[in-house]
Amino acid sequence: MTSICPAGIPPVQFVDCERCIDRYFSTHDTIIFTPPGQVTSGACKVTRKYRWHICDEGIGVGRHLHSVTLLPGEEVELEVVRKHKFDTSLSAQASIEEEVETDLQVKLLEEWGKTEKVSGKFNHSGGIEIFGIGGKTVQDYQRSVETKERRLSEVVSKTAASVSRKFETAMSLKAEVENKFRAVRKVKNPNPCQPVTFHHFQIVKKFRRQLFLVEQTYDCTPPAGLVGGSDITFTDAIRAPGRMAPDVVPTPPGWSIPDDRKAVLACGGEAGQGGPPVGRPVELKLDPPSSREMTRDEVLADLAARGAGDEEARVIRELDALADPGGGGLIFEEVYCIGTDSVFVQAQVSECAACADDAVKLKELEVKKLELELEKLRCEIDLCRKEVGGKPRPGIDPV
């Protein structure tokens, strides 16, 4: 015999969920520097990684949309018109948070592009990479960073205004029934004698946005694209046809050629004696430039290890002055409200003049009734006294 057991349905419980999200974006700029006494220039690519910390701080009552007063028993139809929300197809509509993130990334690239030439791309993690076009000096880069970060407040304000326009809401008495993008709401005053005024407000969502500098890294290339102590070797690659001797290129400034290689470069002077054998393989091999992101301490240690000059170290120290010593300090904070397509209704019941008059008359009738009942009791007491033949007791029995 089988028995039917009731399903164990757990009680409804509300838990606290994280109301903050993090979004990241990076900027990439190239710094050009020329060491003293050299013709060629070096370059450092500076990468600044930022973190947007966005928190939803709740909802509130926004701007006033519409008010309507209904008489007792009156019923009307109100239409809610969302003006800009339906410019986008229904399948492409996004939530307020998604609209804010997307619009912020676009406006960030747009506003920063007004001060200098930049290019950008969106990455897989939902952030944006912004690349500075062309090289800058250290001083130009410092001014660029300060200018761009000062414009962040303007970027956030324009984003909030733009998203609020997408969710702009208006209310009025029903005028067009056939417009499919208009919501209709019936409102009725159920009170038999009191007018009611309905005030409609737009609900807004409050956000707090903080920008942190997470990390500043460097990717440096020494002057002439070479590292101190680079070698020149000959291997199988370039062949000298016939009896032609290989051309010798003068050594650029900053190259270091070991003594055991100098004899090979002297082969140009032996061209009259036959030069190198026909088909001798010749290849010029240089050490590749450093191309890796390093922190300030790593860069300075690398410069010291390969005996580089002080110019690169000075550039790194100047650039590092822009970074927060703690590695991710708060550099910007903004609180703003975004309008939604939801509506808050507040009802205000008015006093009825007729009802007030009736209430006064009712109180007068109640007082008259009490007086009549009191007179009735007095008559009953007098009747009882006459029946028993007693006299009224002073101070006790009513006269």
Contacts of 125 (CB under 8 A, 6+ apart): 24
How far, in Å, CA of 101 to CA of 21, rounded?
11
Contact by Cβ (8 Å): 359, 184: no
Q: What is the pLDDT of residues 22-71, one digit of tens each?
A: 888 888 888 777 766 666 677 778 888 888 888 888 888 888 888 888 88
Higher pLDDT, 271 or 311: 311
How far, in Å, CA of 97 to CA of 159, rounded?
12
74 forms beta bridges with none
* pLDDT bucket at 127, cuts 50 / 70 / 90: low
How far, in Å, CA of 82 to CA of 90, rounded?
13
Q: What is the pLDDT of residues 286-319, one digit of tens each?
A: 444 444 556 666 666 666 555 555 666 666 666 6
Tell me which DSSP letter residue 333 carries.
E
Tokens encoding 249: 């290129």
- Beta strands, E only, 115-181: 118-122, 128-136, 169-173
How far, in Å, CA of 350 to CA of 56, rounded?
37
